[in-house]
Chain A
Amino acid sequence: MDFPSFYMDHLAGGRLIIGLIASLHVLINHPLAVGAYPLLTWMEWWAHKNNRPDIDQLAYKITFIVFIVTTTVGAMTGVGIWLSTSLFAPFAIGSLLRVFFWGWFAEWLVFISEVGLILWWFLTWKKANTPEKKRKHIKIGVALSIMSWLTMALIVAVLGFMMKPGEWNQTRAFWDAMTNPLYAPQLGFRTFIALMMGAVFVWFATFFFTKKKRGYEQGTGPRQLRNWVVYRMSHVVLVSLLGTYLFGTWYWSAIPETMKANSSVALLTQEFMSWHGQFQSLLGWTILVFAAIGLGGLGSSFLIPRWALLIPSLMGIWLLGHFERAREFMRKPWVIGEYMYSNGVHKDELAFLQSEGLLKHATYAKHREVTEANKVECGKDVFMLACSRCHSTTGLNGVIEKFTTMYGADKDWDSSGMALFIQGMHQTRTFMPPFPGNDKEAEALVAFIQQVRATRESLPGAQSTGVVVAPPTAPPAMTASSQP
């Protein structure tokens, strides 16, 4: 990769941060935006039709929470995925932007309208005080619900594209991602689980706004209001549950096929198999818990205590998190399937770099040629370029830890064995990309790793220690071997 390397040694290089931001975004966006907007709009509509100002009030109060959360944490984590990926994998996001420009552009337009609509909907709620104004106001809610769903549908396409290359590397076309075999099941699954979690959220929030108060007439008090919400939200949970189950199972059964089709990860690794099994049982348990809650809510709004509602929400969050991890499995060793490896090396330049050397063509490296004297420094740069997008040195998913598992903690590590392993690492561990350098660079990398093992020194990234630019290269790469 030809960018300075952002790198945080103890957080697997920084990947963890992207993961955290992205998960937080999904956890807010799915239940609150995709799930809750349509439900709240529906409540507003029902209140209007049946002349129930108390329900309208309640919908407004819940919308206030949703508004605050989605326009702060929700919106900024969405932008944050982009900002953090820009640091961590600029080669990937830069390439995706070029190929997928119209997708992102459309996404932006939808996002603008989503934000505009939530502002409009929430801030004009109290001003809609005549039946005509109210009808118009409800329409804004409908538009908002559609837009937030569309935002998700587009993002899923972008993510699906990264997961399965489809025909992209031949045709480089936008629509390929939409015909990805995982697209429909993924989108359906996300839609229904969002509705399910959204319903539980509305239900949960209702408890806070329907505390017992004196002075209510029979039939309109907070208890009745709570009954009203719980009864209906249970229905939503039960119906969406069916959708979640159907789409979840479809996704579950489609995923190994897709993996098999992707030749480089043809063998289903044990890690994947266990993920796959866990997904199934997690899906089962989540559905069971939601079913219990839904059925309980149908019975009586007091059967299910407030804290119990946290269980399905946590299960849903867990399932979504687990679901998100699929991308990791599907993608490795690629960041863009069959086109670019996780470390930014292009498929078609791999053999070239292996023969010419990685450092020779790198911009942000201290030396271009490995010598006895600069071995460790070269190894450090090689590590940054070839390994640091997935591994840290001594921290999370650290190479030291990995080699310790292989060679033992109390023995010397055999340097030539390590170099052999590194050069064959893709053959041994197909989820790792092939080593993109020459023999000497593999040895330099080993020297660096041995030194880190001895000193435990942590490795700083370009954001703290800046970059070093090696003296200008000899005229680019017109060496004997590359001349026709």
Chain B
Amino acid sequence: MTMIPLLANTPIPRDLPLPLPLPEGVLTVLLVIFFLVHILFVNLMVGGSVLVTFFEWLGRKDARWDRLAAAIGRTITVNKSLAVVMGIGPLLCINLVYTMQWYSANTLTGHAWLMIVPLVILAFLLTYLHKYKWESWSQGGWKWLHQLVGLAATLLLLFVPLIFLANVNLMLFPGEWEKVRGFFSSLSIGNVLPRYLHFIAASLAMTGLFLAGWFGREGHEIENTPGFTRPELRRIFYKVAAYVTLAQFVFGPLLLFTLPAAGITTQLYIIIVSGALVGLLTLWLLFRELKSGDDRIGRSYVQICVLFSFVVLGMGSGRHVYRQAALAPHQAEIKERTVHYAAALAAFNKQRAAAPPVEQTPEQLFMNCAACHAPNVKLVGPPLTEIAQIYAGNPDGIVAWAKAPGKKRPELPQMPPMIHLGEANLRKIAELMLEKGKAAQ
């Protein structure tokens, strides 16, 4: 594997000096698997919302599409919640494996990263409004409002993944971090947009496949989707899956060929090309299903799903292999810097521990007070001259005051208690204070 040398201005931070809780390999496998589970539900949420919006629009002419849209909408309630909870696992893993890159990307796109919270809340609330007002907002202007609510939710759900993608992309290119000025500028680094297209298409294809099974299953109450027979429903959603997957043969290569060279390896090509080959096979099965008659459509559903899972696994692994290769030199440099720093630190601490403990001189101890008490001028507290007058011959009075200062001068702030310095030290300070105060008079 050829390593591309890092750009000169690549930040090489020090890693956190704590071991990973699990071997890195294990965490990496978990990362890929958890991520795929998460992205599956995200796909179904995003793809589902797009289809709901589209079919509801068709439904203005032909009411059966409206019923179908409503039925798809009901699946989103579950899928969107699972998309959120299942997102925590991969977040946990990526935080651990790519600590220094991931958090840095988050910060560099910080405003957008924070906006995820309100945007998703809003999107979900609109989704519920859309779902539960389907019946009561079905006439005239209300229907328009209803469609607008659905559209708004969909647009939000289309936008939020872009924030995540920007982060996932930005973390790969530490050499470019200096150029970033907030979220929007981060979109011009790497190849966020081809990735985004690929993701949206995957969402539609995945949702098509899911809904072909969901509405095609025996348990589906067909009266909820009036005007469609079960084979018809299968056919519609197979079509969505098939044509969008066909389009992926454009988006996929677009993504691959726009990837910055940093992480391109032969291994990556092997994985992606095998994935694409399985994809071709899946596509062939899909079109064969579409051609078969109503009595037979759906019989290859399970095979298609299994093959599709392999495609997804391939793309997920390819994605990871690219990341690993792209970040390998950076990770290695970080490790080296971290080790060096730890060694220097250990040497320093060893030397310090070996040195005999020096007792602080009264002058040094007085530094604890010097920020507020100067010989002649009033800084924060009264000058030493004044103190020396009040406490002439009474260092213990100073000690008592410093342990628990009162409130005397209304124009001055409260003096903080200094009891943590210890009585003996305070006594030394007090004597020096009186000395200095007298000298300055």
Residues of B within 8 A of A51 (CB): none
Q: How far is the CA of A210 from the CA of B18 in the complex (A)?
A: 57
Q: How far is the CA of A75 from the CA of B17 in the complex (A)?
A: 32
**A220 at interface by CB-CB < 8 Å:** no
Q: How far is the CA of A424 from the CA of B371 in the complex (A)?
A: 8
Check B111 against A112 for contact (C-beta < 8 Å).
no
Check A484 against B347 for contact (C-beta < 8 Å).
yes
Check A3 against B100 for contact (C-beta < 8 Å).
yes
Check B124 against A101 for contact (C-beta < 8 Å).
no
CB within 8 Å of B: which A100-158 residues: 101-102, 104-105, 108, 111-112, 115-116, 119, 123
Check A2 against B100 for contact (C-beta < 8 Å).
yes
**B214 at interface by CB-CB < 8 Å:** no
Q: How far is the CA of A119 from the CA of B84 in the complex (A)?
A: 13
Interface string of A380-401 (1 = CB under 8 A from B): 0000000000000000000000
Which of A94, A102, A266 sits near B95, CB closer than 8 Å? A94
**A427 at interface by CB-CB < 8 Å:** yes
Interface string of A453-477 (1 = CB under 8 A from B): 0000000011111111100100111
A71-B81, A97-B95, A430-B420 are known contacts; what are 10 more A-B pairs with Cβ within 8 Å? Answer: A3-B104, A77-B121, A84-B114, A84-B117, A86-B113, A108-B92, A356-B348, A417-B374, A477-B344, A484-B351
Which of B78, B82, B341, B367 sits near A420, CB closer than 8 Å? B367
**A218 at interface by CB-CB < 8 Å:** no
**A253 at interface by CB-CB < 8 Å:** no
Which of A72, A87, A111 sits near B125, CB closer than 8 Å? A72
Check A115 against B110 for contact (C-beta < 8 Å).
no
How many interface residues does A have (CB within 8 Å)? 87
**B293 at interface by CB-CB < 8 Å:** no
Q: Known interface pairs A123-B77, A469-B178, A484-B350. Does A417 touch B371 (Cβ–Cβ under 8 Å)?
A: yes
Q: Known interface pairs A86-B95, A266-B420. Does A115 touch B81 (Cβ–Cβ under 8 Å)?
A: yes
**A4 at interface by CB-CB < 8 Å:** yes
**A196 at interface by CB-CB < 8 Å:** no
Which of B22, B106, B345, B349 sits near A101, CB closer than 8 Å? B22
Which of B96, B110, B177, B367 sits near A463, CB closer than 8 Å? B110
**B413 at interface by CB-CB < 8 Å:** yes
B95 to chain A, nearest CB (A): 5
Q: How far is the CA of A21 from the CA of B117 in the complex (A)?
A: 9
Q: How far is the CA of A108 from the CA of B116 in the complex (A)?
A: 20
Interface bin, chain B: 35 or more
**A348 at interface by CB-CB < 8 Å:** yes
Closest 7 CB pairs of A and B: A463-B110, A421-B371, A101-B21, A90-B103, A476-B340, A477-B344, A80-B117
**A83 at interface by CB-CB < 8 Å:** yes
Check B107 against A90 for contact (C-beta < 8 Å).
yes
Residues of B within 8 A of A348 (CB): 345, 349
Q: How far is the CA of A463 from the CA of B340 in the complex (A)?
A: 29
Check A463 against B109 for contact (C-beta < 8 Å).
yes
CB within 8 Å of A: which B1-58 residues: 8-14, 16-22
Interface on A for B, CB 8 Å cutoff? 2-6, 17, 21, 68, 71-73, 75-77, 79-80, 82-84, 86-87, 90-91, 93-95, 97-99, 101-102, 104-105, 108, 111-112, 115-116, 119, 123, 266-267, 270, 346, 348-349, 351-352, 355-356, 361, 363-364, 405-407, 414, 417-418, 420-424, 427-430, 461-469, 472, 475-479, 481-484
| Total contacts A-B at CB 8 Å | 235
Q: Which of A116, A414, A463, A475 has the most CB of B within 10 A?
A: A463
Q: How far is the CA of A428 from the CA of B371 in the complex (A)?
A: 9
**B281 at interface by CB-CB < 8 Å:** no
Residues of A within 8 A of B182 (CB): 463-464, 466
**B358 at interface by CB-CB < 8 Å:** no
Residues of B within 8 A of A83 (CB): 106, 113-114, 116-117
Q: How far is the CA of A218 from the CA of B371 in the complex (A)?
A: 79
Check B367 against A72 for contact (C-beta < 8 Å).
no
Residues of B within 8 A of A363 (CB): 11-14
Residues of B within 8 A of A93 (CB): 95
Check A364 against B11 for contact (C-beta < 8 Å).
yes
Residues of B within 8 A of A68 (CB): 125, 128
Residues of B within 8 A of A2 (CB): 13-14, 100
Check A4 against B84 for contact (C-beta < 8 Å).
no
Q: How far is the CA of A104 from the CA of B21 in the complex (A)?
A: 12
Check B16 against A91 for contact (C-beta < 8 Å).
yes
Check B371 against A418 for contact (C-beta < 8 Å).
yes
**B439 at interface by CB-CB < 8 Å:** no
B362 to chain A, nearest CB (A): 15
B53 to chain A, nearest CB (A): 20
Residues of A within 8 A of B408 (CB): none
Which of A87, A115, A407 sits near B379, CB closer than 8 Å? A407
Residues of B within 8 A of A80 (CB): 116-117
Residues of A within 8 A of B347 (CB): 482-484
Q: How far is the CA of A102 from the CA of B78 in the complex (A)?
A: 27
Residues of B within 8 A of A104 (CB): 92
Check B413 against A406 for contact (C-beta < 8 Å).
yes
Check A97 against B92 for contact (C-beta < 8 Å).
yes
Residues of A within 8 A of B141 (CB): none
Residues of A within 8 A of B77 (CB): 119, 123
**B180 at interface by CB-CB < 8 Å:** yes
Q: Which of A97, A429, A468 has the most CB of B within 10 A?
A: A97
Q: How far is the CA of A333 from the CA of B306 in the complex (A)?
A: 54
Check A420 against B344 for contact (C-beta < 8 Å).
no
Q: How far is the CA of A356 from the CA of B421 in the complex (A)?
A: 26
**B108 at interface by CB-CB < 8 Å:** yes
